């Protein structure tokens, strides 16, 4: 009987550490978006796909995406990091901090070393004298379009948020953060669709790597809250 209980506990711990079992709604959304983005890029071509979606421009979406694209990444990252610091365990805090820091360094490296001369769509089409709808009074960025840093951050934020709940419906809502941010980058002509795929994949694999490395550390202090009753542990 004791052996059976031990086996059940072991299986339970394994399931808790298995990232796919814990947040499978995210994996489903992540796969659907990236498969669709790659398939459509392959079918239409990078430029043609962007120009096709650029036709769907509305003033209310202009205003929404201008604010949402940064709030859903930079500001949400700061808020979530603060929440994890004050309310959650050191382990969960490190998931976000290390994954975002590492992935961002990799992204900046690729942008500046390999893709620094690859133009962003807003500037690219303007230089080619191709008509494109741009959001009024929203600055046009020039180069380093690949990969999308916002999509990278949104992927890591989505995965971190999904780990905070076991409710699959809430996980599904959190999972939608990534594709909505990716769409905002395309809508604002800051990135091509394929750029969002590249950014999301970097964030995805770095988070998985970080998750399993941190979970391989059995130090019980990592499962304690950083702050308790307002005092550092």
Q: What would the pLDDT profile of 22-35 be if each residue is shown by its tens digit?
A: 999 999 999 999 99
Q: What are phi and psi of 56, to 5 degrees?
A: -90, 80
For the whole model, what pTM was predicted?
Answer: 0.90
Nearest CA-CA partner of 117 in 136, 157, 145: 145
Helix 177-187 vs helix 46-54: crossing angle, to nearest 10? 90
Looking at residue 215, its pLDDT comes to 94
Q: Would you say 200 and 206 are in contact if contact means Cβ atoms under 8 Å apart?
A: no
Produce one character per residue of 169-207: b if its CB has 16 or more CB atoms within 10 Å, e if not.
Answer: eebeebbebbbebbbbbbbbbbbbbbbbbbbbbbbbebb
- Flag whether 57 is in a domain: yes
CA gyration radius for the chain? 20
In the predicted model, is pLDDT for residue 7 greater than 60? no
In the predicted model, is pLDDT for residue 230 greater than 50? no
Looking at residue 14, its pLDDT comes to 45
- Flag whether 55 is in a domain: yes
- Residue ranges of E strands in the chain: 227-228, 231-232
Residue range 101-141, pLDDT digits in tens: 999 999 999 999 999 999 999 999 999 999 999 998 888 88
Length of the chain: 233
- Flag whether 13 is in a domain: no
Cβ atoms within 10 Å of 119's Cβ, excluding its own: 18
Distance from the first to the final alpha carbon of the chain? 38
In the structure encoding, which two tokens stand for residue 32, read together? 């659907």
DSSP class of residue 89 equals B
- Flag whether 112 is in a domain: yes
- Flag whether 4 is in a domain: no
In the structure encoding, which two tokens stand for residue 47, read together? 């430029």
What Å distances lie between residue 169 and 6, 105, 165, 212, CA to CA? 31, 33, 10, 25
Number of domains making up the chain = 1
Produce one character per residue of 69-84: b if its CB has 16 or more CB atoms within 10 Å, e if not.
Answer: beebbeebbeebbeeb
* Structural domain harbouring 71: 21-220
What is the spatial distance between Cα 120 and Cα 225, in angstroms, rounded to a whole number?
A: 42
Q: What is the mean pLDDT of residues 199-204?
A: 98
């Amino acid at each position: 009987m004791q052996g059976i209980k031990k086996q059940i506990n072991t299986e339970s711990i394994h399931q808790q550490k298995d990232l796919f079992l814990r947040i499978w709604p995210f994996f489903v959304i992540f796969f659907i978006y990236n498969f669709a983005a790659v398939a459509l890029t392959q079918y239409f071509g990078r430029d043609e796909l962007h120009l096709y979606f650029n036709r769907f421009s509305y003033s209310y979406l202009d205003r929404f995406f201008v604010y949402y694209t940064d709030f859903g990444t930079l500001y949400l990252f700061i808020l979530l990091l603060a929440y994890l610091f004050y309310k959650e365990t050191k382990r969960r805090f490190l998931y976000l901090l290390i994954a975002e820091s590492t992935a961002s360094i990799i992204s900046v490296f690729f942008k500046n070393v390999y893709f620094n001369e690859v133009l962003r769509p807003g500037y690219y089409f303007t230089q080619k004298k191709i008509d494109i709808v741009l959001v009024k009074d929203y600055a046009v960025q020039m180069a380093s379009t690949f990969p999308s840093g916002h999509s990278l951050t949104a992927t890591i934020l989505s995965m971190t948020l999904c780990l905070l709940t076991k409710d699959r419906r809430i996980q599904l809502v959190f999972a939608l953060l990534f594709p909505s941010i990716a769409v905002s980058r395309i809508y604002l002509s800051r990135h091509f669709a394929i750029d969002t795929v590249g950014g999301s994949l970097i964030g995805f694999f770095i988070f998985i790597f970080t998750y399993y490395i941190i979970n391989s550390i059995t130090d019980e202090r990592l499962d304690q809250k950083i702050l308790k009753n307002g005092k550092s542990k």
